[in-house]
């Protein structure tokens, strides 16, 4: 049961919660495809409070709210909010809590969504709190894999790129482990996934995790790519080399499975050769589109409709 719950971290969700959301998201996708008008929210008001810039996440939440027949409240920019005048986050949130039936928040500070959930009486959904958590991205990633491959269990899923800094990858590893995928981690030396997170996934879910430092996707069913965070390197040359060695090109796809799918949280910069976009393997734009039915499913379940 997700009714009236705050959704702050993927750690807050049980496998049964995610299974429920995957099923509901599929129903939402079908309803969208049929053009059927849903009025589940019946004009309930949901605030999207984004203190940080966002394109995909914000717009897909707003689209999900409207597709469910809800109303959306938001401010156009931080510049136009009272926080610019020095109001605390707590006071801003208390005020918004009085205006809306649910609050969806993105904020640069880590832990801000957990704090918002303590302050607000209405349910809070975390749309990204700094480098900490972004649970709806993980939910849509799991939905994309399930939807495109028919299952998650037993699939060879490769996580590729800067696994040390990408919050998406940490949460996704946790979700994949929960659903018993075979996970392979490929990252440049020094940008490996935190030992603690790998150990936790193994201990908690008995996850099958392999680690590599060379790009070889030959036995992958799914390759999930994230960018090398160049700004984290002291030496720009090293950053450039790491990105060059971890770039997905047409050559990388030689000898891969015919039905390999490539996913990416977007925005992508230069980690995937644009030539790849037109291949049958590129599924990242379709993945982004699935954010709407998954967020519709989450909002509907939390609102109990």
Considering only the stretches 72-80, 85-93, 210-218, 228-236, report the one whose residues sit in contact with other proteins under the rule CB under 8 A.
85-93
Please, which of residues 132-151 interact with other proteins by CB under 8 A? 132-133
- The reply on whether position 115 binds other proteins by CB under 8 A is yes
User: CA 30 to CA 100: how far, in whole Å?
Assistant: 28
Considering only the stretches 71-79, 87-95, 152-160, 275-283, report the one whose residues sit in contact with other proteins under the rule CB under 8 A.
87-95
85 an active-site residue?
yes
DSSP 8-state symbol, 243: H
Q: Which of 24, 58, 67, 106 is catalytic?
A: 106
User: CA 10 to CA 30: how far, in whole Å?
Assistant: 25
- The reply on whether position 85 binds other proteins by CB under 8 A is no
Between 81 and 180, CB nearer to other proteins? 81
106 an active-site residue?
yes
User: CA 59 to CA 76: how far, in whole Å?
Assistant: 12
Q: In what order do the strands lie in the sheet with 261-263?
A: 208-212, 182-186, 156-160, 222-225, 261-263
Sole residue written with tokens 């050769």: 273
- The reply on whether position 9 binds other proteins by CB under 8 A is yes
168 an active-site residue?
no
- The reply on whether position 131 binds other proteins by CB under 8 A is yes
134 an active-site residue?
yes
Sole residue written with tokens 């590729």: 160
Tell me which residue of 191, 139, 189, 209 sits closest to 168, measured CA to CA. Answer: 139
268 an active-site residue?
no
Between 110 and 277, CB nearer to other proteins? 110
Tell me which residue of 101, 116, 96 sits closest to 8, measured CA to CA. Answer: 116
- The reply on whether position 121 binds other proteins by CB under 8 A is no
Sole residue written with tokens 């799991």: 142
Please, which of residues 225-264 interact with other proteins by CB under 8 A? none
Between 42 and 88, CB nearer to other proteins? 88
CB 260 within 8 A of CB 26: no
- The reply on whether position 110 binds other proteins by CB under 8 A is yes
User: CA 177 to CA 166: how far, in whole Å?
Assistant: 17
Between 173 and 225, CB nearer to other proteins? 173
> Residue 259 to residues 70, 184, 256: CA-CA distances in angstroms?
38, 17, 8
Interacting residue with other proteins among 52, 73, 130, 215 (CB under 8 A)? 130
Q: How far is the CB of 96 from other proteins (least distance, A)?
A: 15
Catalytic center residues: 56-57, 85, 106, 134
Instruction: Name the site residues for other proteins (rule: CB under 8 A).
Output: 9, 11, 88-90, 107-112, 114-115, 129-133, 196
């Amino acid at each position: 049961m997700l009714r009236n719950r705050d959704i702050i971290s993927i750690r807050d969700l049980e496998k049964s919660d995610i299974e429920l959301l995957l099923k509901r998201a599929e129903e939402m996708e079908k309803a969208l495809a049929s053009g059927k008008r849903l009025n589940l929210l019946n004009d309930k008001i949901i605030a999207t409070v984004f203190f940080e810039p966002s394109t995909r996440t914000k717009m897909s939440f707003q689209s999900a709210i409207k597709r469910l027949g809800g109303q959306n409240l938001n401010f156009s920019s931080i510049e136009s909010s009272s926080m610019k005048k020095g109001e605390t986050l707590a006071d801003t949130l208390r005020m918004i809590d009085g205006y809306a039936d649910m609050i969806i928040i993105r904020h640069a500070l880590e832990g801000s969504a957990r704090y918002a959930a303590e302050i607000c009486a209405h349910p809070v959904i975390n749309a990204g709190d700094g480098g900490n958590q972004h649970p709806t991205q993980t939910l849509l990633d799991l939905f994309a894999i399930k939807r495109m491959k028919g299952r998650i269990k037993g699939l060879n899923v490769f996580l590729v790129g800067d696994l040390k800094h990408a919050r998406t990858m940490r949460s996704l590893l946790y979700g994949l482990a929960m659903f018993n995928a075979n996970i392979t981690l490929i990252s440049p030396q020094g940008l490996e996934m935190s030992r603690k997170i790998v150990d936790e996934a193994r201990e908690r879910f008995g996850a099958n995790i392999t680690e590599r430092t060379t790009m070889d996707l030959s036995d992958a069913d799914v390759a999930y790519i994230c960018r090398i965070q160049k700004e984290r390197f002291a030496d720009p040359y090293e950053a450039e080399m790491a990105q060059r060695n971890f770039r997905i090109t047409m050559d990388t796809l030689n000898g891969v499975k015919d039905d390999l799918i490539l996913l990416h949280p977007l925005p992508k910069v230069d980690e995937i050769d644009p030539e790849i976009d037109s291949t049958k393997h590129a599924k990242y734009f379709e993945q982004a589109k699935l954010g709407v039915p998954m967020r519709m499913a989450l909002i509907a379940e939390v609102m109990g409709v």
